[in-house]
Every structure is written in C-alpha cells, then in structure tokens.
Amino acid sequence: MDSNREELLKQLSAVDFTIIELNLYLNTHPYDQNALVRYNTAVAQSKMLRSEYERCYGPLTAYYSTSGYPWQWICNPWPWQYRFNFTLAGEEC
Amino acid sequence: MWIYEKKLEYPVKIKNPNPKMAKVIITQYGGPDGEMAASLRYLSQRFSMVTPQARATLNDIGTEELAHLEMVGTMVYQLLKGASIEEIKEAGLDPYYADHDRGVYPISAAGTPFTAAYIQSKGNPIVDLYEDMAAEQKARATYEWLINLADDPDVIDPLKFLREREVVHFQRFGEALRIVQDYLDCRRQFAIPKPKGME
C-alpha cells in the first residue's frame, strides 16, 4: 500500500514540477502558445492525480480538499518525515 | 495569500544521520545566500516591481523559494534525527545542540542567526533585479560547495535539484530584467532612471 502511495506521489510531484517550470517560463514568455498548451495539459493531469491521491491517502491541502471523518489533515506522515517521501537518489533522469 | 500543500517540491529521504552535513547545509536555511533570504527578498521586492512579467516572476519565484526552504529544513531535520550526542560533539555541533537540541533554527554555517540585513528591497526595479540575479548565482555557488562536502547520494540528490533551480531562476530574472529595461527604455545606458527633478 505504501509503495502505491509513493508511486502516486512521484507521478504527482513530476507533473506539479512541470507546472512550476512552465509557470515561471510563461511569466516571461506569455505569448508562447506551445508552452501554454503544455501548461494547461499538465494542470489537467495534476487534477486527476491529485484527486486520486487524496481519495486514497488523505488531503493535500486544508483548503481545497475535503476530509473523511475524523479530520484527516492532521494525520502523519508530514512531508519532512522520512517515511513520507519516495527516493530519486541513484536514478538518472 | 498562500495555501500549504502537504508534499515537498522534490523528495528528501535521508537514511543516515550526519550532523556534520547538517551543520553546513543549514546555511541554505538561514544563511546569507539561503532560501529564507531568497523568499523574503523576492516577496518583499514584488510590491514595487514594474511590468506584469517581472511582478509575476518575483511573486512565483519567491513562492518557490518557500518550497525550497521547506526542503532544506527537511534535510537538516533528517540529518540530525537519530544522531548521537557523540556524533553531534564530534561534528562541532554541541553549541547548536545547547540552544536548539535537534530542532531546526535559521543560522548560517558559521552560526550567525538569520538577519534581514542579508537582503535588499530598494524600490527600484533595475536595482532589485540585478540583486536577484546575483543572489541566484551566490546560492548556486553555495549548493556547489555543499555538494563538494557531501558524499551521501541521499544528500547530494536534493542538493543537485536545488542547484539547478538557481540556474533556472537566474535565467528567468535575466529575462525579467530585459523586459523591464525595454519598458523603462534605458537598455543601452545600463543606468538607473534619474529621480524627478534630476533629469
């Protein structure tokens, strides 16, 4: 179960990083239509992965996310805890 | 406003405690070229920035720096967690331990507490963007020295990610500077527009 969570988190992190990168790029290249299409595609992908992650593993925000009972936001692990994260060390991109 | 997202921008998963590395990496948390200074610098400068492109660049890079601050804090936390008193003493971290135990506190590698004197917000868009480009290069260099000091792939991997972000930010600030220079029509002069009454 935890390896599923890590895999899903990895996919979500990759898509969200794409969004951050395109966001910064588009700020100084607002007329790049190709980049804009890629940005919009990544946002749609992120929405799907996000709702899948939240359905299985709890809220990613205490703002846009709904929670099961009891209040799920306070549940461990938090991002700074060792077991929260997946590893990319040793993997070549 | 900001909304916290319960994940890191890039994963930090360090198996082995290493107070020696914590002692130097903490400089990117609360040191002169660290992420706290970066985020405060850009998020403060954005109020007086000109052009939509440059305003958005400061706002969003400033926001990403907060995510980097969290990553560096996570690295320090994981490097100190489980470290024995002997290891802490051997790393020369006993003065830190006396004040903070294994908590994360914003200081430089040499132990200077964080100060806003590390940053500038000059109210002039050209001045601020030059400072920002310099800041990104200083942070890139710092990450390189930290990578030189590290031997654990779990530590090197996030440091390499953070180093690469400095390079991208430098590029984006360079583009923003060019846009602002065109806007102010002072591109060839490399000069600061004179205040009213001094034209």
Residues A44-82 have pLDDT tens digits of 999 999 999 999 999 999 999 999 999 999 999 999 999
Q: What pTM did the predictor assign?
A: 0.94
pLDDT score recorded for residue B196: 76
Q: Which two tokens stand for residue B126?
A: 């050209």
Cα distance between residue A30 and residue A27, in whole Å: 6
- ipTM of the assembly? 0.95
**Residue in chain B nearest A82 by alpha carbon:** B13
> What integer is the mean pLDDT of A17-30?
98
B175: nearest CB among A28, A79, A87? A28
Domain boundaries of chain B, sorted by first residue: 19-184
Cα distance between residue A81 and residue B39, in whole Å: 23
Strand partners, A25: none
- DSSP H stretches of helix in chain A: 2-28, 33-57
Q: What band does A87 get if pLDDT is binned at 50, 70 and 90?
A: confident
Mark yes or no for CB contact B57/A27 under 8 Å.
yes
Contacts of A50 in chain B (CB under 8 A): none
Q: What band does B195 get if pLDDT is binned at 50, 70 and 90?
A: confident
Mark yes or no for CB contact B172/A21 under 8 Å.
no
Q: What band does B187 get if pLDDT is binned at 50, 70 and 90?
A: low
Q: Name the 3-class secondary structure at A58.
A: coil
The percentage of chain B sitting over the pLDDT mark of 70, rounded to a whole number, equals 94
pLDDT score recorded for residue B199: 62
pLDDT exceeds cutoff 70 at B193: no
Mark yes or no for CB contact A78/B6 under 8 Å.
yes
Cα distance between residue A87 and residue A71, in whole Å: 28
Chain B interface, mutation test: which of A12, A18, A20, A27, most B Cβ atoms within 10 Å? Answer: A27
> What integer is the mean pLDDT of B17-27?
98
- CATH architecture, range B19-184: Up-down Bundle (1.20)
Burial per residue of B149-181, b for 16 or more beta-carbon CB atoms within 10 angstroms, e otherwise: bbeeebbbbbbbbbbebbebbbebbebbbebbb
Q: What is the mean pLDDT of chain B?
A: 95
pLDDT exceeds cutoff 70 at B192: no
Residue with the bigger pLDDT between B21 and A93: it is: B21
